[in-house]
Structure 1
Amino acid sequence: MDRQSLYFVRPGETELRTTTFEPADDEVIVETQISAVNAGTELLIHRGEAPIDLQADETIDALDGDLSFPLRYGYAAVGEVIATGNAVTEDWRGQRVFAFNPHESRFAAQPATLVPVPDNVSSETAAMLSSAETATSLVLDGRPRLGERVIVFGAGVIGLCTIGVLSDFPLERLVAVDPITDRREHALRMGADEAITPDEATDNVCEGAADGADLVYELSGRPEALDDAISSTGYDSRVVVGSWYGTKQPTLDLGTNFHRDRVTIESSQVSTLSPESRGRWTKTRRLNTALDRLQALPIESLITHQIPFADAPSAYRLLDESQSPLQVLLTYP
């Protein structure tokens, strides 16, 4: 069966290619309606800033090989099941589903890897499930506590979803840091108590404002922001790094205050569960929690552009050249 697939072919260039796939008896065929561009990772790939010898994602069956060009990528597709294999019940036919699948017009998948989309959730909202899951994972890893001061560096889609989840916690203060005015305004609508620029965050530190944060998230994708995140902490605080910098190298000032204040820096990556959570949490439980959060947050307000799949290369040029987009969706005829 033929389909159109989006390929990253070299730095700064994507193209649509006709590919062929053969569904197995235990798979269904999904006709794609919407797919979400996850700007952080996908822009690193688009720009050639991802390590090419790294596996695409061993936890997602639809992604194979490494990150060397040319490659298919993406992991947030919503579509309708149009056919079922001989070993799959007909009940799946006609269902709307979410899949961790690259950008392409149709694909085959085992039902166990699909998430049925509730009737009251639009396809546009459902396409952002992976972002809600990442935000859920970040909050689980950060373990916010009653009355804590929390700062989120980076108000892109992941940062805003994380702010939305954190806003339900009884925190003392939830602060968003981002250089873009529109994103700071979105952060306030998602539940932040305050939204400031990186310069304002640095000024607060220099002036000794408050006692530093208890929990800081670095979600900007900017290596230089990690130093600012560490500088904004207080005694015995935690910095959770959800950004992936690819081949970009951060330069850190791990001076006296970092050591004397016993600051902890932790990584967070949605493909695995943290060791502290594995006794009680599974990926299924986390995904179900994310689906619940997805329905509770004003997630569609983050969608700024919908671009036809046939014009997909323009979506990456837009993201690469402009600061205005938040969530870009690809739409399929």
Structure 2
Amino acid sequence: MARTVYFTAPYEVAVRETSVSDPDPDELVVEASVSAISPGTELLLYRGEVSPETAADETLESLGGSFSYPFPYGYATVGTVTGIGDDVDPEWRGETVLAFHPHASEFTVGVDAVCRVPDGISPEQAVFLPNVETAVTLVHDGEPALGERAVVVGQGVIGLLTTAILSTFPLEELVTVEIHDSRRELSTALGADRSVSPSTTDLADLFDPSTDSFTGAARDTAAEPGRADLTYELSGNPAALDDAIAATGYDGRVVVGSWYGTKPVTLSLDDRFHRSRIDLRASQVSTLAPERRGRWSVSRRLQTAWRRLRDIETERLVTHRLPVSEAPEAYDILDDDPASAVQVLLTY
């Protein structure tokens, strides 16, 4: 028997005993040591802000089905392979692996749904790999360039990891926007040049206008001093998308990485938006952008994420560790106290 986390109703989580099946010929049995709660996606599920008809993830067998209660979820569990199917290479036994699998103390999973954890990476660091892969996708989709000004709105786990990767680019300046003081401190520790509060800062005037490349442009519509070339909306707050557009200058890109669930988005797509020719881009890790599919594969992106993961101080992001038996409390903490809770881990 295993202990598995189930979402049973809005704001209700239960830990249930479930049976662990013998592995099929191409499967492994994994005994978990730690798993990471995704504060963005899993809080939407916890709050009941995702349509029950929405498919969970058709690319992963362990996340199949829909979000109709009750259901298990999670996609970042690290553990040890304790059993193997008849067709599996015996060398898998005893390996430490990352599994794209819901929170559970033990489970069977296909070989294709796990990754060996490279030497030198701890289990607590490895559970960040799926979110680092998301951050890699966001950076790819935003296409940051030399000397550009970039803004990241929202400094949750995905926002912080995206900031950490963007900080390695030769940008003119990297500014983050976050309502919580503690997360702004984390943001600068991970590489942001500045982190500001949206309640006290005019997002249309984040940068020094004296360095604006459009100063003196022939058309006033192109001269937008103080705005960004590239902005990411990663807060999960629909209202923040308007802020992201306001922060972005002529011909700039706004990359929308937030999943808002059932929350409606109201945008003010006024004359400035159209005249500024702002480019709104969707970004989602389940697919590769069409323009990169000729040279990039999911495997190549995953290996890139492993390499980036080594360079990020993920231990700074871990604020809580709770045994899986206390999973309901873990979700309460994330929901009630976002100022102090960033990455919550479940231990087994």
Q: How would you bin the TM-score normalised by the shorter chain?
A: over 0.9
The 8 Å contact of residues 233 and 240 in structure 2, kept in 1 or not, is answered as yes
Alignment correspondent of 1:10: 9
Kindly report which structure 2 residues correspond to 1:32-111, keeping only aligned pairs within 5 A, or say none: 32-111=32-111
Kindly report which structure 2 residues correspond to 1:120-199, keeping only aligned pairs within 5 A, or say none: 120-199=120-199
1:272 partnered with 2:287: yes
Which 5+ residue runs of structure 1 have no aligned equivalent? none
The 8 Å contact of residues 177 and 201 in structure 1, kept in 2 or not, is answered as no
Please give the per-residue CA displacement for 1:16-52, whole angstroms capped at 9, x wherever unaligned: 1112242212111000000000010100000001111
Give the AA of the match of 2:259.
W
1:221 partnered with 2:220: no
Supply the RMSD in Å over aligned alpha carbons.
Answer: 1.4
Alignment correspondent of 2:346: 330
Q: Give, in angstroms, the shift of residue 203 of structure 1.
A: 5.7
Alignment correspondent of 2:303: 288
Return the alpha-carbon distance in structure 2 between the equivalents of residues 206 and 236 of structure 1: 17
Give the AA of the match of 2:162.
T
Q: Give, in angstroms, the shift of residue 118 of structure 1.
A: 1.7
**Percent identity of the aligned residues?**
50
Alignment correspondent of 2:218: none
The 8 Å contact of residues 234 and 261 in structure 1, kept in 2 or not, is answered as yes
What secondary structure, in the 3-state scheme, does the structure 2 residue paired with 1:313 have? helix
The 8 Å contact of residues 201 and 232 in structure 1, kept in 2 or not, is answered as no
Report the more deviating stretch, 209-218 or 323-332: 209-218
Kindly report which structure 2 residues correspond to 1:220-259, keeping only aligned pairs within 5 A, or say none: 220-259=235-274
What secondary structure, in the 3-state scheme, does the structure 1 residue paired with 2:71 have? coil
Alignment correspondent of 2:217: none
Please give the per-residue CA displacement for 1:271-304, whole angstroms capped at 9, x wherever unaligned: 1111111111111100110010111111111111
Return the alpha-carbon distance in structure 2 between the equivalents of residues 38 and 141 of structure 1: 21
Return the alpha-carbon distance in structure 2 between the equivalents of residues 201 and 269 of structure 1: 29
What secondary structure, in the 3-state scheme, does the structure 1 residue paired with 2:252 have? strand
Which 5+ residue runs of structure 2 have no aligned equivalent? 210-224
Give the AA of the match of 2:14.
E
What secondary structure, in the 3-state scheme, does the structure 2 residue paired with 1:223 have? coil
Give TM-score scaled by structure 2 length.
Answer: 0.93
Q: Give, in angstroms, the shift of residue 202 of structure 1.
A: 2.5
Alignment correspondent of 2:214: none
Cα 1:159–1:203 shift into 2, 3 Å: closer
Q: Give, in angstroms, the shift of residue 168 of structure 1.
A: 0.7
Give the AA of the match of 1:266.
R
What secondary structure, in the 3-state scheme, does the structure 1 residue paired with 2:284 have? coil
Q: Give, in angstroms, the shift of residue 110 of structure 1.
A: 2.0
1:212 partnered with 2:227: yes
What secondary structure, in the 3-state scheme, does the structure 1 residue paired with 2:56 have? coil
What secondary structure, in the 3-state scheme, does the structure 1 residue paired with 2:202 have? helix
Return the alpha-carbon distance in structure 2 between the equivalents of residues 279 and 202 of structure 1: 41
Please give the per-residue CA displacement for 1:105-147, whole angstroms capped at 9, x wherever unaligned: 1111222321111221110000111110100010011110111
Give the AA of the match of 2:37.
V
Return the alpha-carbon distance in structure 1 between the equivalents of residues 69 and 155 of structure 2: 30
Please give the per-residue CA displacement for 1:75-117, whole angstroms capped at 9, x wherever unaligned: 0000000011111121011100001100011111222321111
* Structure 1 ranges of 4+ moved more than 4 A: 206-209
Aligned residues: 331
